[in-house]
Structure 1
């Protein structure tokens, strides 16, 4: 039994009392990805958007950024809410917005908490007071530094999504009394979806103060890896927000399909991938298999899976041989640290350098998803399909996803661990190796790579258009 995977980022995401629908992250980890993803267009003569409507604001640049986001997200919902919810008008938050200086022991506390320190590292929406509050000292500036301004936009738009739910009729009492209909993970997915729909509106040039290029969305999705639940959290836990795959999926659904789809999310139509550990031994090792063990176990399993895929498509499958090499694959240096060599029907895998480092730093499915992509190329070769071009690149990512989705459904034998899907998301956002074609070409953006992989994971091999 394999239940494997650890992650480079582990966070505890607390909830602030029962009155708070959402609270995000007590620590922000990750690698800087630049701050140019979102550009605030300041009001003439002010140097930034006037934050005077924010209570307890210091008027500084962090609250100016928050004011820009909130002004545009209010504009979005003023426009979008009637079209989404049967013509009803958007209602402004009656309790307003609170900036909290958690670095000061004397700072005033916002509603719903006892002291300013209770907000440290968090942003939240409090339904009983209809307010949104955030930590301007230890959350928003760190998000901006590590992931860019897009992450600040995402957090505040998510919290506004909870205010949308309240106005749409999902009450705190309903969540408490009917958790099977409104589990926390579902409520959080819907808020992520609403955030995605807002970001799409910004990307299309509709916002007054914000802009984001579609090819810079990766920084926003990077932050969702940080906001995921700790590895091993069950999706049924009272405070579950979802793993990175769940959260990225919800955001992308909103971005791609709009607020109407978000409003229709329910337990009847939403699948969540978050799961707890099934074996104590696996939990003790953080879900990771050693590099050699992962490669050995997974190559046998990949061979069996793609035998079925190729045979079902009417062709004959012969599993490629595996050839470890110390440096870059010798037959093809353009595919990355693992390469399919069609002339020899061989997969060369680098046992030194970048690949083992990724395995160690990200987790074992960092190796796994790249290896799955190369077996996908062997399957395309067996099916006499092109090994270069955009369609090939998409098929490779989709086939990696279809194999991963099959593992997700397994209950015995070689299967996924909590966190494996998150490791896949992390690799897809930062690297194009899993979807590189035979000439080294790949889909440019992590956003699109994740989207194609998701389709394969959730829909299976039929999404890969092999026929």
Structure 2
């Protein structure tokens, strides 16, 4: 999802190592509460996909008519160039602005600043989004593109980016657009949009699309086409959702931390940044023990190193099912179904999916060691937050156990797609993927203090 240049997203969407989000049945429901005639969209076929797109861009512009002036001190101007629906498979279809032929739009949606217009592929992008992630994914993608129109109107346009690339790198303007999309989606989720509605299950599914649009692992954050890794993109979206457009407008290279990194060694690049399962377990548990020993003892507690077992088919602690990763307070054990589900996620997502799940169990162990509750939503969110706090200390290490470029994305994927790391010792879980990622992110960016361990 870019500005000016047309960058194909279909290959990314279909080929990225993304995790299908289980979600809930409501994620498949329509997000449209009332229809919008798409005849104002140039090239439209009048079908269901363009009707959804029309409802989205109508509500997004309505949102900015209400919000732009309080945010930026001047009135919103609707897009002068309008909106274009393109059938990229048709040889006779007219090209959209910033393109030479219809096929240039294949698998893409974009904002063309020279024409002040938005275009989308109704044959090879929007239907794929709808099928894979639900209607809300279309809403997020188009809200992101109009987000580019917002920062252009706010004074961060093509000229500024060309003249001051270090001040306005692409990854920053992409984060702004993600943030503005999050602010708009919050308005929809609060029931204020005339034509759209989004519930929690739909939002979780749609965030899966945002994860799929991350940059290839190892892309430098200074790359001229960088959009951000999954952690950075979801973080920007959640910041907009939680704090609104004012925060988005104030983003800069001085106050925005981007976690996207390149590979630092040939061996890491060759392995894709992934360790084998047994080696990962040995490395991460030793490091987690050191981290949580210090965390607990510094706060007056007594740390007992958990005994980690990786060969338990169906972990149960005190007769409770925590899923494939479990912390047993009575025995001090951490048990994993290492021969089945956890190893499957390790292979499918990456090694730090395993690391993240194990870290959440250490988070429960730390709370137990300090006499804090290990049941209830507060305990599970704290465990997620502490797993994030640990991850934040590992990020950027140059010696010892450290993170590879794709590891934070693997954490986001496993937390968004599965509730295993968000279960308490009784097996009760935080069911919202959005909330799970947010709790982890709070710890990663704010440290133990953000988890109530000041």
Matched, 1:445 2:437: no
In structure 2, what is the equivalent of residue 67 of structure 1?
54
Partner of 2:39: 52
Q: What SS is found at the alignment partner of 1:416? A: coil
The answer to whether the aligner puts 1:240 opposite 2:218 as a matched pair is: no
Partner of 1:165: 151
Hey, what does 2:274 align to over in structure 1? 288
CA–CA separation in structure 2 for the residues paired with 1:173 and 1:37: 42
Match of 2:32 in 1: 40
Q: 1:21 to 1:117 in 2, by over 3 A?
A: closer
Q: How many residues align?
A: 446
CA contact (8 A) 1:23 1:125 kept: no
Partner deviation per Cα, 1:312-345 (whole Å, 9 max, x = no partner): 1112222112223241124355222122222222
Cα distance in structure 1, aligned partners of 2:12 and 2:128: 9
In structure 2, relative to structure 1, the CA distance for the partners of 1:285 and 1:418 (3 Å cut) is: same
SS in structure 2 opposite 1:409? Answer: coil
> For 2:323, what is the secondary structure of its paired residue?
coil
Matches within 5 A, 1:132-211: 132-211=118-197
Quote the offset at 1:26 in angstroms: 3.9
Q: How big is the shift at 1:223?
A: 0.8
| 1:279 alignment partner, one of 248, 252, 265 | 265
The whole-number CA distance in structure 2 between the counterparts of 1:331 and 1:63 is 51
Equivalent residue, structure 1, for 2:83: 97
Q: Which has the higher contact order (CA 8 A, sep 6+)?
A: 1
Shift of 1:199: 0.4
**What does residue range 288-327 of structure 1 map to in structure 2 within 5 Å?**
288-327=274-313
Q: In structure 2, which of residues 47, 51, 64 is the aligned counterpart of residue 77 of structure 1?
A: 64
Per the normalisation by structure 1, the TM-score is: 0.92
**1:342 maps to which of 329, 339, 349:** 329
Residue of 384, 404, 407 corresponding to 1:397: 384
Is contact 2:10–2:106 with CA below 8 Å preserved after alignment?
no
User: Match of 2:28, SS?
Assistant: coil
C-alpha contact 2:8 2:107 (8 A) present in aligned 1: no
The alpha-carbon distance between structure 1 residues 37 and 314, as it changes in their structure 2 partners (threshold 3 A), is farther
2:395 corresponds to which residue?
Answer: 408
Secondary structure of 1:210's match? coil
- List, as ranges, runs of 4+ consecutive aligned residues in structure 1 with deviation greater than 6 Å: none
Normalising by structure 2, we get a TM-score of: 0.95
Question: Does structure 1 conserve the Cα–Cα contact (< 8 Å) formed by 2:63 and 2:184?
Answer: yes
Corresponding residue number in structure 1 for 2:369: 382
After the TM superposition, which of the residue ranges 150-159 and 427-436 deviates more from structure 2? 427-436
Structure 1: where are the runs of 5+ without partners? Answer: 1-12, 43-47
Query: 1:22 deviation in Å?
Result: 7.5
- Provide the rounded CA distance (Å) in 1 between the counterparts of 2:253 and 2:347: 36
